[in-house]
Structure 1
Amino acid sequence: MSNLKSKFFEVYDVLKAELLKDKAFDFTKDSCQWVERMLDYNVPGGKYEIFLACVLGWCIEWLQAYFLVLDDIMDNSHTRRGQPCWFRQPKVGMIAVNDGLLLRNHIGRILKKHFVEFQTTYGQMIDLITTHLGQKDLSKYSLDDHRRIVVYKTAFYSFYLPVACALLMAGENLDNHSDVRSILLEMGNYFQVQDDYLDCFGDPEVIGKIGTDIEDFKCSWLVAKAMELCTEEQQKLLYENYVQAVLKSFLAKIYKRHK
């Protein structure tokens, strides 16, 4: 149990450090020290339930601290967890009201950061694993795999997140806008399909880069779709020529035949 508690506190230290370095807050040296002292005083000290997701566990502790800091002020309490209430600390007083609101806003910052990074990192993981499998067997590449990579690696971060943040700022419940989520993820998928096509056939002088998806053995939309459309003979040629520049003209012939 002590080892689990130690790991739980390691997560707290990471979260605290992230918040103190958050560029959304223009901290001065004094304000940074204040927030760090305020966090250390109010957030640790609860029951320390060990959650499977430590980040979510600490968000609960942050939420509890937010409630307690404000509740102590309203109740004019004297002690909390065996020590003086935060607002009764020297030079704190009613600044604790703003500190309580700061605690509440920290939760959103933590969830936003770690939710998005998890989605993107998960997509990157699928991409790397699929590429590794495809190097051994191209039949592992499918449109379902490609879409799964795109949704997590690109669509969530680049398309859904900005709109979701705008909805939250407008006071909307994201659960009431599942259609928005679906549309934006489709837009992300459409964008990536176009990007994959341009990576292969786009003029580097126009798109600003030299495409390397084929050379890198990526599970791009082009090869996934080719695996769906090609004959057994074409599939054999695809296996033999993947990663080679000649594949670009070969892929073009497959798509032209199926238009």
Structure 2
Amino acid sequence: MASDKAARRARFEAVFDVIRDELVEYCKKEGLPDEALEWYRKSLDYNVPGGKLNRGISVVDTVEILKGRPLTDEEYLNAAVLGWCVELLQAYFLVADDIMDASITRRSQPCWYLAPAPAVSAPSTPVAPSTTPAAIAKDQPVSITASGYRHPSVGMIAINDSFMLASAIYHLLKIHFRPQPCYVDLLELFHDITYKTEMGQLVDLVTASEGVVDLARFSLERHRTIVVYKTAFYSFHLPVALAMRMCNIPDSYTVQLPDGSKTLKPYDIALSILIPLGEYFQVQDDFLDYAAPPEILGKIGTDIVDNKCSWCVNTVMGLCTPEQRAILDRNYGRKGDIEAGAEGADSEEKKAHGQDGEAGGLCEKRVKELYEAVGLRKVYAEYEANMYKRLNELIDSIPEEGVIVDEKGQKVETHQGMKRQVFRSFLEKIHGRKM
């Protein structure tokens, strides 16, 4: 099973080399200099293929499920291109998000804007070592390759790089899908989902502004809006909708069943399952950030000290007493041992890191103790059980029996309709996960 998963990933990764070369070659034909071409290549290699690739591979898996057979080489390439377009969209979001959040690392390496700038060539004027006083620097020219030269970071050029990651999506769609009937639908999907995700990012940013801790802005309704728009649409709905369009599934179709005919709207059905599925996934993430040990999670959770509008804090706010709420207000979103309002709270001598594996010191510890006191683990277990039951009921409601017919009652051969396994595969991947 593990080897099969690795083989599927390797085959998918091989397509990235194809699309990267297509993108760089297009820029070359546009007359970009070698330095810009090398920069673009490095941006693509650094930002796009390094993650889990679940979103992109899901496109391929969904196409295969909908067709009910192994894909031809041409079908696989097209599905994989769509998958990499989703990964390009993800990379666009992450590069921009890291700048907005002033993040330091991403995928165990420096965020792109902090990474060493690629394709640095010798400047037209000599450069002095970074240690040379400015007053005499003009008299101390050195090569850019000298040991004293401070290699610059990508910096704010990353903003333009993020734009190019997004624009690459539409170039690839034009190359690979323009002759196909689904081309406009694919374009509209990417435009629509990108806009929705940006809306979610806006709500997230104004809800928990940097340096401002105000739990009055938080609510489960606000959390759901952020989750649905910032995560669920592009992570769950987009891969499946792209696969459905590639498989020529129409906006509606009729199924002849033993007890009569039924008209289905498959994209509405998919949305009704995938959005709550994405919400469930993010609630899991929020809970694991608090509850999973670092050795299982693979990192130390930081949602509490980072003032995140998390499912955990919003749920606890609805369960706690006024006294417990005061504890939350004094300690949530604080990196240190001193509560808000206490003497010395505004001192710069706060502890940036806590003790015993905590990310934020005593303030975070008090919040976690409160989470335990109100029984958050039990509440989450009940939420997960109810959501799993609800999602299975929605999936089971998709009719797979019967014959798909056109308006004349003739059997349709151009597509096989919706398959429960599309959604079941997503659900089983995330249900009960620990990391």
- When the two structures are superposed, what TM-score results if normalisation uses the length of structure 2? 0.36
Aligned to 2:209: 132
Structure 2, unmatched stretches of 5+, are 1-17, 31-174, 253-264, 334-362, 380-435
C-alpha change, 1:182 and 1:205, in structure 2 (3 Å) is same
**Structure-1 separation of matches of 2:301 and 2:370:** 16
Aligned to 1:230: 320
Aligned to 2:383: none
Aligned to 2:243: 166
- Pair 1:254-2:374 in alignment: yes
Q: SS state of the match for residue 303, structure 2?
A: coil
Contact kept? 1:230, 1:254, Cα under 8 Å? yes
Any idea what the Cα deviations from partners look like across 1:4-46, whole Å, max 9, x if unmatched? xxxxxxxxxxxxxxxxxx948937569967xxxxxxxxxxxxx
Equivalent residue runs for 1:33-48 within 5 Å? none
Structure 1, unmatched stretches of 5+, are 1-21, 34-97
Deviation at 1:132, TM superposition (A): 2.2
Matched letter for residue 22 of structure 2: D
- Pair 1:26-2:116 in alignment: no
Aligned to 2:232: 155
Deviation at 1:169, TM superposition (A): 1.4
Aligned to 1:219: 309
Matched letter for residue 119 of structure 1: K
User: What is the aligned-residue RMSD (CA, Å)?
Assistant: 3.4
Any idea what the Cα deviations from partners look like across 1:189-216, whole Å, max 9, x if unmatched? 1111111011112111111121111111
Give the structure with the higher percent helix: 1
**Structure-1 separation of matches of 2:203 and 2:211:** 12
C-alpha change, 1:164 and 1:214, in structure 2 (3 Å) is same
- Pair 1:207-2:297 in alignment: yes
Equivalent residue runs for 1:44-55 within 5 Å? none
**Structure-1 separation of matches of 2:182 and 2:273:** 29
Equivalent residue runs for 1:84-163 within 5 Å? 101-102=178-179, 107-108=184-185, 110-132=187-209, 135-163=212-240
> Percentage identity across aligned positions?
40
C-alpha change, 1:205 and 1:32, in structure 2 (3 Å) is same
Contact kept? 2:200, 2:228, Cα under 8 Å? yes
Any idea what the Cα deviations from partners look like across 1:150-185, whole Å, max 9, x if unmatched? 001111111111111111112123461212211111
What is the aligned length?
A: 173
Contact kept? 1:141, 1:227, Cα under 8 Å? no
Deviation at 1:111, TM superposition (A): 2.7
- Pair 1:245-2:241 in alignment: no
C-alpha change, 1:29 and 1:233, in structure 2 (3 Å) is closer
Deviation at 1:112, TM superposition (A): 3.5
**Structure-1 separation of matches of 2:321 and 2:269:** 37
**Structure-2 separation of matches of 1:258 and 1:191:** 18
C-alpha change, 1:257 and 1:196, in structure 2 (3 Å) is closer
